[in-house]
Structure 1
């Protein structure tokens, strides 16, 4: 399924995305180094072992990006004009190397664009969930979506 047009969305629509992803050490290392994040909690196993977590914690920006990325195919692929914002970002549980993440999305707002008649605005609430059914990340994503052409 590809992304939907504005008219195809309704308040309360829910998607359980089919892709799941097991987080690897390489994922965490690449995200941390590519973004120049030297946090030892993400990169130093000896340091991390001495923390309350007892192990390396996956960089939260990776978790956020993975969550949004998994959602794209069934939400905005080919119909997105622009992401207008990400709000209410929460990370209530840590992600560890080896965790498997799945994503669910709910539509929490739908409205026509006031300035662009060829588009509408859809707000998605994304939730990333680990193999223990714990929410590890959530956010609201507001997207400017194409309308169907007449």
Structure 2
């Protein structure tokens, strides 16, 4: 796997990323602990059972990070200068332990960098779906990518 350079992308390019990931209790607990997020919905089975969800809810920041991680191999691996921002992040459906998630990416904008002639900006729309094909996370990511070497 390797990412593409700026000049290898076209608006409308779409990738269904091949790696899927089933979320485990360990994933959720370690991520919540590592990020100092003691939200009972994420780490306390009894509190989660009493919630409207009736079970542990996967930490949304983990869900977002997993979506980006699943996309890197085919989008920006080895070609990234910097991620410049994330916009319009939504999580329309919850993620639960045992859900299997997969990501897709689409190029929605391209523009030359005014300050870096050897790079350009690519805006991706990333979607993360569960095993029921429901979107559980979506965002726009703007990345500064190297152009192909001359």
TM-score of the alignment, normalized to the shorter chain, above 0.5: yes
Q: Could you tell me which residue of structure 2 aligns to residue 149 of structure 1?
A: 149
- Unmatched tracts of structure 1, length 5 or more: none
Shift of 1:4: 0.2
Runs of 4+ in 1 over 4 A off after TM superposition: none
- Counterpart CA distance in 2 for 1:74 and 1:28 is 25
Structure 2 counterpart of 1:62: 62
Superposed, 1:19-58 pairs within 5 Å as: 19-58=19-58
Give the distance between the partners of 1:97 and 1:38, measured in 2 at CA.
Answer: 17
Please, what TM-score do these two structures have when normalized by structure 2? Answer: 0.99
Matched residue count? 150
RMSD between superposed Cα atoms in Å:
0.5
Normalized against structure 1, the TM-score is what? 0.99
Unaligned runs of 5+ in 2: none
Deviation at 1:35, TM superposition (A): 0.4
